[in-house]
């Protein structure tokens, strides 16, 4: 295996995706325990996992925000180019989005079994591109798109702040917020009001989400590349 | 494998500040090069460019005939260990940092790394952020040596180590260089301590190359004249005396001059002893070119440092 393939195969550290997966499973267990708590003192009338996944997009963003400033310098110091690092980051973003979407999808299916056993209504509160929590394929694509956009925007904004000079972080931040908007078409989180015009597209909404989210993610990742392609590696100690 | 380093018309600016100005330099492969300069001379900036940590404002840098920046064919063959090895992740354990390096470095020598970790008493299971300054520096030089990169550079990497550890580092560097010849560049302020390792020396001053010569040639530019004070006074009269020491009736004057055969004979007849100057004394003199030579009786900055 060449250093280049080793970089992408082992990025960023072996087992990080497995660790993220484990946290996701643990989080599902916590949400289900909270559901039992709600049922003990009140009524469970809608999917609690749906509310729980509100945090998942921040979780997807967090790992990329952590990863770039943590690992860019060590990788470059060991001969990996910025181009290779960004390519590996893109692979990580896609893999992370797919992993988290799979966990969310599996969570809805397990939740359905729990809710059926407890005789609770398994219905959604918000208006998403998927009609039912058990439409596994559309749930996976909807959440996959959402996580992809959020993680990609995280990469771009972090790259802006890592670059430091020229106020690039402050420029990347509003652009990133704008690029996040299409993800609300896939998984509704109470986004901007003008999106409401598109919420009644039925099956066409997921198509529109795909049409807008993929370019958003691509633009964000291209922005991350543009910001990192020649970024200086900072020293933690002043030059002697 | 040994790789040459060629630098041409190199400029680096940080806004209004010029860090490197028209640097032209060729460092031959298979040698240990010393890179010295005062604080802010541009040493770290130059090394950062050589390791593709930073893109120059203009100019070209080639290693093994190929451009460096964003060229994976070259960057994988270059290793820069900067100050306290600041490109390792503080939260990682030492053993994780070594595994990380092993995964990315094609010529990694795990056996050497293990031996050096043992020699420098670096605790493998400690988080890097919790290591002492000396241990952290020792980890940096361990990674630098075990990487076995054809171009390996140390930028003040050993400054925080205690004296026995520094001498162990010099021993290891030299032994590894003899066993696996490659191109080393060592930037340091501990000039006299490290200079015996250098084959060639480059002095940077205010972003420009001041001197680039084999160490022996550079040292031959100056002479220490020692003997009876009156004889020394007569002998060095008219020469550029960098500094002097007196002990009773004996005087030792450091002179920026290379003496011809006739003058050497005169010295021998007058009972004077001629010896080489230290690189540090020469460095202090060369990097203060605008100031007049210090008057007799003064002490060199190098001595004050010591």
- Give the model confidence (pLDDT) of B81-135 as tens digits: 987 666 677 888 999 999 989 988 989 999 999 999 999 999 999 999 899 999 9
Q: What is the model's pLDDT at position B152?
A: 96
Q: How many domains does chain B have?
A: 2
Let me know whether B163 and B18 are in one domain.
yes
Q: Do A78 and B105 touch (CB under 8 A)?
A: yes
Element (H, E) at A211: helix A203-228
Q: Do A73 and B86 touch (CB under 8 A)?
A: yes
Let me know whether B39 and B144 are in one domain.
yes
Check whether B279 has a pLDDT greater than 50.
yes
Q: What is the model's pLDDT at position B41?
A: 93
For B65-70, what is the mean pLDDT? 96
Contacts of B147 in chain A (CB under 8 A): 78
Longest dimension (CA), chain A: 69
Instruction: For residues B250 and B242, give the distance between their C-alpha atoms in angstroms, rounded to a whole number.
Output: 17
Q: What is the model's pLDDT at position B293?
A: 45
Let me know whether B200 and B241 are in one domain.
no
**B302 and B254 in contact (C-beta within 8 Å)?**
no
Let me know whether B132 and B241 are in one domain.
no
Mean pLDDT of chain A: 85
Percent of chain B with pLDDT over 90: 68
B22-35 pLDDT per residue, tens: 999 999 999 999 99
Q: How far is A89 from chain B (nearest CA, A)?
A: 16
**A86 and A222 in contact (C-beta within 8 Å)?**
no
Nearest to B63 by CA among B112, B28, B14, B37: B28
Mean pLDDT of chain B: 89
Check whether B270 has a pLDDT greater than 70.
yes
What is the band of B302 on the pLDDT scale with cuts at 50, 70, 90? Answer: very low
For A59-64, what is the mean pLDDT? 92
The minimal CB distance from A80 to the residues B48, B104, B189 is found for: B104
Q: Do B55 and A73 touch (CB under 8 A)?
A: no
**Cis peptide bond N-terminal to A12, omega within 30:** yes
Q: Do A6 and B87 touch (CB under 8 A)?
A: no
A106-142 pLDDT per residue, tens: 999 999 999 999 888 888 888 787 878 888 899 999 9
The minimal CB distance from A230 to the residues B55, B83, B104 is found for: B55
Last residue of a domain, one of B199, B217, B235: B217
Residue B259's CATH number = 3.30.70
Strand B223-228 relative to strand B273-276: parallel, antiparallel, unpaired?
antiparallel
Closest chain A residue to the Cα of B39, Cα to Cα: A240
Q: Work out whether the CA dihedral B233, B236, B240, B246 comes out positive or negative.
A: negative
What is the band of B143 on the pLDDT scale with cuts at 50, 70, 90? Answer: very high
Q: Do A6 and B48 touch (CB under 8 A)?
A: no
Let me know whether B72 and B167 are in one domain.
yes
Instruction: For residues B161 and B172, give the distance between their C-alpha atoms in angstroms, rounded to a whole number.
Output: 14
Percent of chain A with pLDDT over 70: 85
Last residue of a domain, one of B217, B248, B268: B217
What is the band of A6 on the pLDDT scale with cuts at 50, 70, 90? Answer: low
Tokens of A4: 């280049």
What is the band of B19 on the pLDDT scale with cuts at 50, 70, 90? Answer: very high
Let me know whether B83 and B199 are in one domain.
yes
End-to-end CA distance of chain A: 38
The per-residue DSSP string of A57-114 comes to: HHHHHHHHHHHHHHHHHHHHHTT--HHHHHHHHHHHHHHHHHHHHHHHHHHHHHHHHH
Distances in Å between the Cα of B30 and the Cα atoms of B79, B82, B178, B230 are 15, 21, 10, 47
Q: Do B101 and A78 touch (CB under 8 A)?
A: yes
Secondary structure class of B36 (helix, strand, coil): strand
Could you list the residue range(s) of the whole structural domain that residue B261 is in? 221-303
Last residue of a domain, one of B166, B195, B217: B217
Contacts of A7 in chain B (CB under 8 A): 104
What is the band of B298 on the pLDDT scale with cuts at 50, 70, 90? Answer: very low
**A173 and A157 in contact (C-beta within 8 Å)?**
yes
Of residues B180 and B1, more confidently modeled: B180
Let me know whether B193 and B277 are in one domain.
no
Give the pTM: 0.86
Instruction: For residues B80 and A77, give the distance between their C-alpha atoms in angstroms, rounded to a whole number.
Output: 7
- Residues in A whose CB is inside 8 Å of some CB of B read 2-4, 6-7, 10, 13, 70-71, 73-84, 229-230, 232-233, 235-237, 239-240
What is the band of A186 on the pLDDT scale with cuts at 50, 70, 90? Answer: confident
Q: What is the model's pLDDT at position A203?
A: 60
| Rounded to 5°, angle at Cα A89 from B102 and A184 | 155
Q: What is the model's pLDDT at position A217?
A: 96
Flag whether the ipTM exceeds 0.90.
no
Nearest to B282 by CA among B217, B228, B226: B217
Closest chain B residue to the Cα of A3, Cα to Cα: B104
Q: Which of A104-118, A142-156, A160-174, B49-63 is predicted with the least confidence, judged by mean pLDDT?
A: A160-174
Q: What is the model's pLDDT at position A14?
A: 54
Secondary structure class of A210 (helix, strand, coil): helix
Give the domain ranges of chain A: 16-228
Let me know whether B190 and B256 are in one domain.
no
């Amino acid at each position: 295996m060449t250093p280049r393939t080793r970089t992408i195969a082992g990025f960023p550290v072996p087992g990080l995706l497995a660790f993220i997966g484990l946290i996701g499973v643990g989080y599902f267990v916590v949400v289900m325990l909270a559901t039992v708590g709600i049922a003990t003192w009140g009524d469970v009338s809608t999917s609690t996992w749906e509310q729980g996944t509100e945090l998942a997009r921040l979780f997807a963003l967090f790992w990329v925000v952590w990863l770039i400033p943590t690992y860019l310098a060590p990788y470059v110091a060991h001969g990996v180019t910025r181009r290779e690092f960004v390519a590996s980051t893109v692979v990580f973003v896609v893999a992370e989005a797919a992993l988290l979407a799979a966990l969310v999808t599996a969570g809805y299916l397990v939740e359905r079994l729990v809710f059926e056993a407890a005789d609770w209504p398994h219905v959604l509160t918000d208006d998403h591109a998927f009609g039912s929590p058990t439409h596994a394929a559309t749930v996976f694509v909807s959440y996959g798109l959402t996580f992809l956009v959020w993680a990609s925007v995280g990469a771009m904004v972090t790259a802006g702040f890592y670059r430091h000079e020229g106020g690039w972080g402050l420029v990347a931040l509003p652009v990133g917020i704008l690029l996040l908007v299409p993800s609300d078409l896939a998984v509704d989180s109470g986004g901007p009001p003008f999106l409401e015009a598109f919420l009644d597209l039925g099956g066409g909404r997921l198509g529109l989400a795909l049409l807008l989210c993929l370019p958003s993610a691509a633009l964000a990742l291209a922005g991350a590349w543009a910001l990192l392609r020649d970024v200086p590696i900072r020293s933690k100690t002043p030059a002697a | 494998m040994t790789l040459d380093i060629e630098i041409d018309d190199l400029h680096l600016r940080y806004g209004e500040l010029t860090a490197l100005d028209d640097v032209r330099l060729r460092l031959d492969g298979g040698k240990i090069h010393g890179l010295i300069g005062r604080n802010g001379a541009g040493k770290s900036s130059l090394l950062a460019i050589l390791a593709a940590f930073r893109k120059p404002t203009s100019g070209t840098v080639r290693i093994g005939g190929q451009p460096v920046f964003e060229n994976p064919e070259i960057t994988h063959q270059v290793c820069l260990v900067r100050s306290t090895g600041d490109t390792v992740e503080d939260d990682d354990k030492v053993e994780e940092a070594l595994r990380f390096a092993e995964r990315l470095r094609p010529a990694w020598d795990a056996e050497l790394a293990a031996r050096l970790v043992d020699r420098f008493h670096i605790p493998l299971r400690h988080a890097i952020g919790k290591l002492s300054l000396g241990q952290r520096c020792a980890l940096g030089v361990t990674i630098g040596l075990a990487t076995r990169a054809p171009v390996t550079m140390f930028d003040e990497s050993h400054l925080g180590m205690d004296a026995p550890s520094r001498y162990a580092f010099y021993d290891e560097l030299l032994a590894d260089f003899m066993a696996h010849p490659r191109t080393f560049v060592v930037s340091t302020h501990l000039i006299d301590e490290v200079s015996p390792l250098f084959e060639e020396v480059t002095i940077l001053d205010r972003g420009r190359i001041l001197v680039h010569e084999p160490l022996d040639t550079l040292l031959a530019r100056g002479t220490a004249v020692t003997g009876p004070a009156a004889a020394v006074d007569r002998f060095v009269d008219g020469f550029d005396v960098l500094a002097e020491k007196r002990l009773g009736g004996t005087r030792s004057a450091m002179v920026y001059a290379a003496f011809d055969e006739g003058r050497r004979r005169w010295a021998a007849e007058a009972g004077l002893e001629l010896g080489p100057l230290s690189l540090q004394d020469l460095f202090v003199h060369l990097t203060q070119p605008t100031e007049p030579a210090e008057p007799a009786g003064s002490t060199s900055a190098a001595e004050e440092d010591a």
